[in-house]
Structure 1
Amino acid sequence: MIRVLLADDEALIRAGLRSILETDDDITVVAEASNSREAITLTEAHRPDVVLLDVRMPGPTPAGDGLDTIEHLRRHQPGIAVTVLTTFDEDEYVARAVRAGAAGFLLKAADPRELLAAIRATADGDGYLSPRITARVLRRLQSRPDEDSDSERVRARKLVATLTDRERDVLALLARGLSNHEIGRELFVSEGTVKAHLSALLARLGVDNRVRAAVIWTAASQQ
């Protein structure tokens, strides 16, 4: 059973998410939070597998906003996956959430099937990148010279150079937002083979989810 905590300041949004998630017999909503402080407190109390978090989750302090919440949970509850809910006009928030350590990104307007797929993927440790926002967010990460410096690009290229040709193929498709199933179809290999390559490349890159791996690929690819 996948245990999910919903964190959104709008009660109607939480109700809609709960109704979708609980159509799946393998998913249960264990708690709902309306601000960042509640999200942290309830996560500590219930230890969910996934926190589904509005990227603009309000405070109050000391919990901070949604981005502070991600950073706090990554430090204190590293085994819990944080999947971020966003809208089309929040690229900068999502780019910062990538750096904060979020494992998944999903549009609030996503199809219910995509929501369920994202929850399963992040609960399994695979992470989830919505294809509809991946390219825009990675471009945003590329466009920040203070954070994507020459040294970062050099480091990223050195890391990517340690990968096998097939692992680089997998990483390139992952950075486009493709799922394991879709990557397998593109490369004519099984989903299990994709997962094996993914585990190996994450270890070589020294990251723990596909979102961070995509960031490295983007930095390495930048001219």
Structure 2
Amino acid sequence: MPFDYNNNAALHKPCAVDAQPFKYKAKIASVSPLEKRNDFELANHCFLGVSLENSHFYPQKLAGILEWISRRFSFCTVLVGDSIHRLTLQSVRNLQPTAAMAAALELGECFVQQSRPVFERFSATTRFRFVTCHRVQAQASYQHFHCRLRHLYRTDTRFNQSVNRFAEHYLRKKIDELEPEQWARQIGFSADYFLEEFAIFACLQQQGHSVMVYPGSFSTLSEIAQGQHPLAPEELKALTIVSLCVKGR
């Protein structure tokens, strides 16, 4: 469903949007599977994953990403990672589940409100449509994919190790700051985050969104796309993951 705009106050306000020339440029870092490297642009539609409170999605870097998308795709679904961000808030800020969910949903709303001028700068070439993780997770298909991925995580050693390595890489800067119990707790939150996220991606692919764009890497997801986890959902195997790097001009 399209995202509904409203006037809730921001929890976190990124830097202001300006009309100056773009200061950042996005380039392809990798494409998975590799055989899609030269033809993924034939698709007319992509989806962009947005991680909340991530500097890649503050206006100046976001503009660089959208400039890259606008040169390749006529339509782009913007997946706002609101409900899954609750796990980050629980892990990092020690919020209780109910408070974490409320804060995460408000952050998602604020992102869309504050970023509208950036998206509008590219509206002449690309039509953007917003969806939220919260709304996707309300779908029956999400529950199906999430159950399958949780089962795979419990029963497939290779998949389990891949997800945990991904979580460890994501948290690597904190390893010296945490006690073993705290480290294990944060790994658990991160693994839960990725499994929910992957189930959402499977839903979008099932709905016809086969090219995912993200400014960063998804090692486990890339492995799935490359056929390294044969028991993963077919929808994830069918995804093309385009990882971008964003650098100053």
- TM normalised by structure 2 equals 0.27
Q: Which has the higher contact order (CA 8 A, sep 6+)?
A: 2
- TM normalised by structure 1 equals 0.29
